[in-house]
Structure 1
Amino acid sequence: MGLQQTISYKDPSGFVVKLDDGYHRIVSNSYKKEFDHLENSGLYQELIDKGLMVKHQAVELADAYAGNYKQIYPEQLSFISYPFEWSYGQWRQMIIAYLRINEMAMAHGMILKDASPYNFTYVNERCVLIDTLSFDFYEDGTPWKAYRQFCEEILSPFLLMHYKDPLWARLSRASITGLPLPFVSAQLPFSTRFNNLCLMHIHLHARFKTKGGSGSTASAGGGFNKQKLNYLFGSIKDGVKKYKAPLLRNSIWDEYYENDIESEKYMADKISVIKTWLGNAKPKATVDIGANTGKFSVIAAEFSEKVYALEGDIYCVEDIYKAIKKIPGNKITTVVADIVDPSPGLGWANTEKASLLQRINGDMIMALAVIHHLCLTRNIPLHFVAKLFADMTTRYAIVEFVPKEDNKSQLLLKNKGDIFDEYTEAHFVECFSQHFKPAAVHSCEDSLRKLYLWEKL
């Protein structure tokens, strides 16, 4: 194994490196006592048993990291999503998981030492902690040191999503270290001052300053014993559980398949063809671009080992997330993502958080009833689309071509005018043929649309 790239470097307890066989975590000598206690106290196994944290195994410490305590090989996740790619329900689930982990840790004499939502990700519908070195010893009567961070980075975005609009989650992309509490307090409705959760943890917290006056208080529960701190965790958790849905619902895709499909014949034919193609391809990972309500993501899951449902409409993603939680053995992971504006690299040197296109790919992508939106609404040239799709797959792409004569295309062009001379099926084939060879073509029944199965060159 050769040293390739250091991924995590801010925590003196250890860091993550990418080696030839995947990601490894190096545990520093300074974290020896905490790491041993995590494993030997039973806390690690309890978290694994409840599906709240990624598993790991100890491996031989590489010569490059001699002088550190241990090297562990975590469960290798094929995709790590970031908080700004989560729906409302996913944020809610993450907060509950964070508080549950703290309660469990307290029973073993530990506590989470920080409160970054980036310490979590989603494996299908399940929220898991991925930072094994997040735990610290807890001494009875000491404050909750991560309280300020919890309020700024976890609770604030969620409350803005609830009271204002789920789209506020995107602010965490612009500020990966959270939102200032005075700013959040000013954005929340006046009525939230009569809500205990908002009043205590946002509004009152925003008014208190450190002695130097430079920021919010750093901790809570000063002088609290273990029982009272556990009560604080429980009360926040119970409060968050009451926020079952955001107050605003504003999706253009509600009841899409009930009201806006071409025809029942078209849909039945389309489903049949896609099932046949997926069944023959047997993909390991399918990326469903523009997943909409997730109808075809669920179909893809019948034939794929895993499916990533990418959709820019956060309300659609919320609906998909709610639905997949009910599916036994679910294989679908939802991602709030606009493929025209995918998240860039963020943080230090733009490498601290990888871009979406660096993190996600599959051996099959599906782009169904999407390409006319990319080209006619968002003005993306066809050869750009073909190149991006080729970069996102290692084998196949199922792409539905929707011509300008299609009713939905005509609606898109109504107020814009037809300025897209190159948006033709011939040019579509020409552009995609630079990266793929056509494996199959199907004219959809009762429709002007065509399905293309492309195989990468």
Structure 2
Amino acid sequence: MAHPDTDLRAEPASFRDPANRVFHQGTDVLRGLDERAAADWRALAASDFFPVLLDQGKVCGTVETSPVPQGWAAVLRHERIPFVSHPYEWSHAMLRDAALLHLEILRAALPAGFTTKDGSAYNLQWRGVEPVFIDVGSFTPVRDGEPWAGYRQFCQTMLYPLLLGAHLGLDFQPWLRSRVDGVEADQMRRLFTGRRRFLAGVPTHVHLHDAMQRRNARSSTTEVRTQMRAAGYSRDLAVATVRGLQRLVNRLDRPTPASHWIDYQRTCGYTAEDRAVKERFVAAALAAGSTARLALDLGANDGRYARLAARHADYVVAVEQDPAVVDGLYRALRAEGERRVLPLVMDLADPSPGGGWRGVERAAFAERARADVVLALAVVHHLAIGRNVPLLEVVDWLAGFGAPGARLVVEFVHPEDPMARRLLANKPENLFPDYRRDEFERLLGARCRVVDRLDLPSGTRTLFRAVIGG
């Protein structure tokens, strides 16, 4: 390890807890601890429950290391998560499984004399489709008679979004994206009126919680804790509360909504020959270079090509706009035991921006997604025609995902293709005079070195293999 203060870069998302902070040094992920946090860590590491969670992979790999950076009492080294995602990029089932892991960890910690300071969905990340708890600095000794300090955050960033999906059929992603702190109880109370106020979880965790917050709005945290102790709140009651939350969250499934994209592979118009030829071309392109560290599948749909990419990459991020499609892909990947593909919900014409404090606390997708291989199959026409993005902008955008030398596999759907005609039918005539194969190839050649091209047997789609930056 290098000198502790050499090239040490603070993680922009880690600043809210002054007792510990995450830093990056080269490829290492480090956490500085102050005196109190260092003592808590050593007690945690010596406990019976925490090493079990580490061995099971439910908490990110963590060891105490040295040397210690100036200003800190101890330093931890964490495993590096392959790709950092945000909760508003997860599907309903993903958020539910992350919430259940958070509660499982808390339930294991409480009898051992520990709790967590917070309950944020941002405390979890993914190894493929396996959730993992990453905020080791959140563990702290529990004090009898005090409620879980993370309950409000848990409600705002996990429970309430799940209630929106399970009870109202609403996509929670826009709610979480718009507010880094999540959905407030007051907002939920206004949505769950009339008969809705009696739906599972709503009376206690929405209406009662909101009433308690309003009643104690002028009380200090110390005063509220004193009231709770006086009312007989105990560690056993805290464990029972967590058990109740587990039962509730387990019930908060969301029925699959109707969606054109769920059945896209059957309705998209590919012939069996087209599909076979396309798959062979993509497989050859993926096998043409060394194993990729990170591959992106933009517009992944059911993950057919993301799975193919996983054979030639350490990790694949599969991006799809429709939350229901991502939910189905997530469930399928878990059932298959595929651990190298991370499915994410994202509108490629409106990708995740930087957010939170100063716009950098939550990094934008473009900053996180620097890939060695980029797949953009059957997506260009949706952006260029469906969303009115000029072809030049689309090509620049695709090339921006990889450093010079990265591989790009892209499909161009000709204007006479049935799918393109369907999109063009909803647009003014002659709105896209430059939407042509020759123009696309010219623009692609200006940003990349085109090494292979192939027309599919139907004659209305062309596949390109290119190297970004030439």
TM range (shorter): over 0.9
Asked if 2 retains the 8 angstrom alpha-carbon contact of 1:26 and 1:72, the reply is yes
Cα distance change, pair 56–213 in 1 and its aligned pair in 2 (3 A): closer
Give 1:177 shift.
0.8
Percent identity reads 26
Deviates most, 330-339 or 204-213: 204-213
Q: Given the alignment of the two structures, is residue 96 of structure 1 paired with residue 100 of structure 2, yes or no?
A: yes
**Deviation string for 1:365-423 (max 9, x for gaps)?**
10111000010011111121111211212310000010111110000010213311111
Candidates 241, 244, 250, aligned match of 2:258: 250
Which residue is 1:376 aligned to?
Answer: 385
Which residue is 1:280 aligned to?
Answer: 288
Which residue is 2:73 aligned to?
Answer: 69
Which residue is 2:412 aligned to?
Answer: 401
3-state DSSP class of the match of 1:96? helix
Asked if 1 retains the 8 angstrom alpha-carbon contact of 2:81 and 2:125, the reply is no
3-state DSSP class of the match of 1:241? helix
Counterpart mapping for 1:201-350 below 5 A: 201-211=205-215, 213=217, 222=229, 223-244=232-253, 246-247=254-255, 249-281=257-289, 282-350=291-359
Give 1:247 shift.
4.3
> Size of the alignment, in residue pairs?
454
What is the RMSD computed on CA atoms of the aligned residues? 2.1
3-state DSSP class of the match of 2:420? helix
Gapped runs of 5+ residues in structure 1? Answer: none
Tell me the distance in 1 between the aligned counterparts of 2:140 and 2:181: 21
Which residue is 1:37 aligned to?
Answer: 43
**Deviation string for 1:277-300 (max 9, x for gaps)?**
212234332100011121211222
Deviates most, 88-97 or 260-269: 260-269
Deviates most, 189-198 or 360-369: 189-198
Which residue is 1:2 aligned to?
Answer: 7
3-state DSSP class of the match of 1:325? helix
Asked if 2 retains the 8 angstrom alpha-carbon contact of 1:403 and 1:409, the reply is yes
Give 1:212 shift.
5.6
- What letter is aligned with 2:336? I
- What letter is aligned with 1:2? D
Q: Given the alignment of the two structures, is residue 105 of structure 1 paired with residue 109 of structure 2, yes or no?
A: yes
Candidates 81, 86, 91, aligned match of 1:87: 91
- What letter is aligned with 2:451? A
Deviates most, 22-31 or 365-374: 22-31
Deviates most, 65-74 or 214-223: 214-223
Q: Given the alignment of the two structures, is residue 168 of structure 1 paired with residue 180 of structure 2, yes or no?
A: no
Asked if 2 retains the 8 angstrom alpha-carbon contact of 1:125 and 1:333, the reply is yes
Gapped runs of 5+ residues in structure 2? Answer: 1-5
Give 1:4 shift.
3.3
Tell me the distance in 1 between the aligned counterparts of 2:284 and 2:25: 38
Q: Given the alignment of the two structures, is residue 154 of structure 1 paired with residue 166 of structure 2, yes or no?
A: no
3-state DSSP class of the match of 1:344? coil
**Deviation string for 1:160-196 (max 9, x for gaps)?**
1222234222211111112221211221364342235
Cα distance change, pair 408–104 in 1 and its aligned pair in 2 (3 A): same
Cα distance change, pair 368–130 in 1 and its aligned pair in 2 (3 A): same
Cα distance change, pair 190–303 in 1 and its aligned pair in 2 (3 A): farther
Asked if 2 retains the 8 angstrom alpha-carbon contact of 1:164 and 1:188, the reply is no
Cα distance change, pair 420–166 in 1 and its aligned pair in 2 (3 A): same
3-state DSSP class of the match of 1:255? helix
- What letter is aligned with 1:91? L
Which residue is 1:121 aligned to?
Answer: 125
Candidates 440, 443, 451, aligned match of 1:431: 443
Give 1:446 shift.
2.3
**Deviation string for 1:225-277 (max 9, x for gaps)?**
22222111111101211223x24613221211123332111111111221122
Asked if 2 retains the 8 angstrom alpha-carbon contact of 1:206 and 1:216, the reply is no
Deviates most, 308-317 or 67-76: 67-76
3-state DSSP class of the match of 2:131? strand
Asked if 2 retains the 8 angstrom alpha-carbon contact of 1:366 and 1:397, the reply is yes
Which residue is 2:466 aligned to?
Answer: 454
Counterpart mapping for 1:347-358 below 5 A: 347-358=356-367
Tell me the distance in 2 between the aligned counterparts of 1:396 and 1:57: 36
Cα distance change, pair 156–429 in 1 and its aligned pair in 2 (3 A): same
TM-score, normalising length from structure 1? 0.94
Deviates most, 313-322 or 438-447: 438-447
Tell me the distance in 1 between the aligned counterparts of 2:103 and 2:446: 51
**Deviation string for 1:281-321 (max 9, x for gaps)?**
34332100011121211222222221110011111110110
Give 1:59 shift.
2.7
Cα distance change, pair 320–254 in 1 and its aligned pair in 2 (3 A): same
